[in-house]
Amino acid sequence: MDLMLRDRVAVITGPAKGMGAAITRAFANEGCRLALLARDLGAVEPLADELCGIGHPCLLAQVDVTRPEDCARAAAAALDAYGQIDILVNVAGGTGTIGKSGVETEPAEFDATVALNMGGCFNTIRAVLPAMMERRHGKIINVGGTFGMRGRAGRLAYSASKWGLRGITKSFALEAGPYNINVNCVAPGMVDGPRFRDKVCADMAARLGISIEEAASRHAEEYALKRITTDRDVANACLFLASDVSRQMTGLDLPVDGGWAML
């Protein structure tokens, strides 16, 4: 199926690593013109050079998404370069403290996680939405997480921030809907990759005296589909929600987790 995304302008935050890089490549392969927003430009420059080298236009902007002025400046740069913004994909985020109970979590740690995972998306949406509203067209995809749908002990700040992102998504969907703008949230579960293998599976393996592969299999057994999500699975969900194939879907929480959140 042709998703008809060619020449649309996609602003992507957190494009350098893991699912962010997979999402960036997926939109490039659909023919989108890209504006890549990253706090560390050095981390994203190799990907941008790779994509530009094969004919995919890329604009880079150094942005801390927790700073509204950075987000406004980047949106203006994208408009100056391309004349429009069609798509925003908010990938940038962080896990914050892991393994601490709510009582053990310091207020500053909680605030920092909420500022990044909720405030960052709020800032970027505010920055791009006026241009989308003027053209009466736009697609906004926030990348949340299934711990914002079921909660998780030991990850209070992260879970709370992803629950809050769902509220931001739904409120903006209601406000932007009359302007033909869709606002949705993709919620990945555990995503295969270095962090999953080297941290999550390694911790389980050490605790239970099993191999990392066995630990990965045990995680997969928790899911209805008995397999771990990949970066490409998340990227495909973002492409779907960025396309007009999903024109009648807004305010949606879309788990991409093999069936964990619904169990």
Cα 202 to the chain's mean position, in Å?
A: 25
Q: At 85, is the secondary structure helix, strand, or coil?
A: coil
The verdict on whether 82 is a catalytic residue reads no
Residues 6+ apart with CB under 8 A from 241: 139, 141, 182, 184, 186, 249, 252, 254
The secondary structure of 29-48 as a DSSP string is HTT-EEEEEES-HHHHHHHH
The catalytic position among 82, 158, 179, 223 is 158
**Residue 164 CA, distance from chain mean position:** 14
Q: Report helix angle 156-176 to 107-114, nearest 10.
A: 30
198 token code pair: 């080297």
Catalytic residues, by residue number, are 158
